[in-house]
Amino acid sequence: MQLTSKLSISTLVLTAASGLLAQTASHPNIVIIFPDQFRQNSLGFWSKDNNEKYIQGKADPVNTPNLDKLANKSIVFNQAMSNFPLSSPFRGMMLTGTYPDRNGLTTNCHKSKKEHLNSDALCISDVLATEGYETAYFGKCHWVQTTPVFDTNGTYVGSEKSPGGEYINPYDTYVPPGNDRHGFNYFFQTLNDNHYNPMCYSNDSIAIKGLKDGQMYRPHRFSAEFESEAVLNYLDVTHNQRDKTKPFLMVWSLNPPHNPWTPESTDMKFFPQYTENGKVNVDKLLLRQNADKTVGKYAPYYFANVSAVDHYIGLVLDKLKEKGLDKNTIIIFTSDHGEMLGSHGLQGKNVPEIESFNIPFMIKWDGKLKHKVNDLMLSVPDIMPTVLGLAGFENKIPSQVQGVNYATLLTNDKCNDIKKPTSALYIGIHARGVHTGRYTYVVNELKGKFANAYMYDNHKDPYQLNRIVDSKIPPKVLKTLKSELIKQLKSTEDKWFTNKICYEYLKY
């Protein structure tokens, strides 16, 4: 791993904090919560009060009372897009405000790859730490290179030589102290896609039964419950986890409702509501016309995990209110990507179809933001600059940021200074595309050359049942979509533009 010249976060914080307490006292707390693989359609909010008209197709029959309550006090986005609907790329974009080719996470971290969020990237946590904020991260990280630097007990030794040489997980790994924690001074990391047996590493020894940072703790509890307990203790400041005189940034990334979807990985007390007399009726759970009900037979387990996540998030939201912290706290709920749930015969994510690409996003700030459903086509890199803008740090947005600060647009409905985007970029392993609202347009490559292209007309075909190949796309529409894609690839410095991938088709 290449070392960087960025000052250590501890040095930056110590240098800046002394003169910033008075300055930050009026700045809001910031809470960002994002469960893994949570569908946009799996918010109960969309099924209520005629809200279904704002989304593409039928909403899922889920029970999410706490998130519904939050949504009713939030700006709720119906066209927030996970530009690269995959765990690691989302985290890189959200934290840095940059697209994958700039931040280093161009696919998921895995032991067979060298993916790593650039150690010198300035994340939202880096910026706020230097501005005097307390910063905390809970849950799944998935942004550093997966390397065999652990002993057989899962203890971090930092070397592949004995007693190191072991991986703890093929898809994720522990983030050691230093620049790769990106300014998060309270650290409570969980990993492993096993909801009842997560691996936990923390610099809070009390939270992990006296173990040290770098030693693996296995709680043998439902991960969302276990994490929520640590979050609640952090808010209560049970053992000096933070300085109560400072505002805080708290990020919580839950693993469920990500797979596995089995009784052994589900909080089963939320399961019965998705059955009839103990029997599952998938026909009443999968309501979308494009759903393959054989492939999507895991729906009751997925929905039970959605309801479990809602429950534990609700405990945290209640605690914020109990402590009086909700009055000056920006609360964001979103997800790293969607879940196909049998649509198009698929499960998982990392495809351009709407169930994978469209994500939930809501933002609440009492007295500052008015509830509405907003059709702004929000991209993931827009989150970081927008949050900094809302919190009063628009002048601290790093120059490397590629996302747009929409803070003024959110606080002032009559603002005309900021133009809404006309499209959102889609990134796949071998594909690029744009979503314009009406259309979803995708170009596939093979060994750098054009393979094929197609489009969905989302107005006429909300379930995306009819792929329209490029030769059948009306010429004016095709010209506009190509132009939008080229504009996005150029402005984001995507490797397709810099390496002229599919040049014979896109004519950059």
pLDDT tens, position by position, 243-298: 999 999 999 999 999 999 999 999 999 999 999 988 999 999 999 999 999 999 99
Residue 201 DSSP label: E
| Mean pLDDT along residues 322-337 | 96
Question: In this structure, what token pair is assigned to residue 39?
Answer: 């569908």
- pLDDT band at residue 25 under the 50/70/90 scheme: low
What pTM, to 2 d.p., does this model score? 0.94
Q: Calculate the CA dihedral of residues 405, 406, 408, 413 and round it to 10 degrees.
A: 170
At 15 the pLDDT is 43
Position 19 scores a pLDDT of 42
What 3-state DSSP class applies to 342?
coil
Q: Identify the three-state secondary structure at position 190.
A: strand
The CB-side HSE value for 24 (13 A sphere, CA atoms) comes to 25
Whether domain 424-506 has CATH 3.30.200.20: the reply is no
Residue 18, pLDDT score: 41
Q: For residue range 125-142, what is the model confidence (pLDDT) as tens digits?
A: 999 999 999 999 999 999
Q: Does domain 9-411 have CATH number 3.40.50.10490?
A: no
At position 460, the amino acid (one-letter code) is K
Mean pLDDT, to the nearest integer, of 325-333? 96
In this model, does residue 494 exceed pLDDT 90?
yes
- In the three-class reduction of DSSP (H, G, I as helix; E, B as strand; rest coil), residue 252 is classed as strand
Question: Could you tell me what percent of the chain has a pLDDT over 70?
Answer: 95
Nearest in space to 59 (alpha carbons), one of 373, 286, 371: 286
Average pLDDT score, the chain? 94
Strands across the sheet containing 424-427: 424-427, 431-435, 439-446, 449-457, 468-469
The 10 Å CB-count burial string (b at 16+, else e) for 7-43 is eebeebbeeebeebeeebeebbbbbbbbbbbbbbbbb
Provide the residue type at 297 as one letter: K
User: For the chain, what are the domain ranges?
Assistant: 9-411, 424-506
Domains 9-411 and 424-506 agree in fold: no
From residue 196, alpha-carbon distances to 171, 191, 264, 324 in Å are 18, 11, 7, 32
**Beta strands 372-374 and 134-139: pairing type?**
unpaired
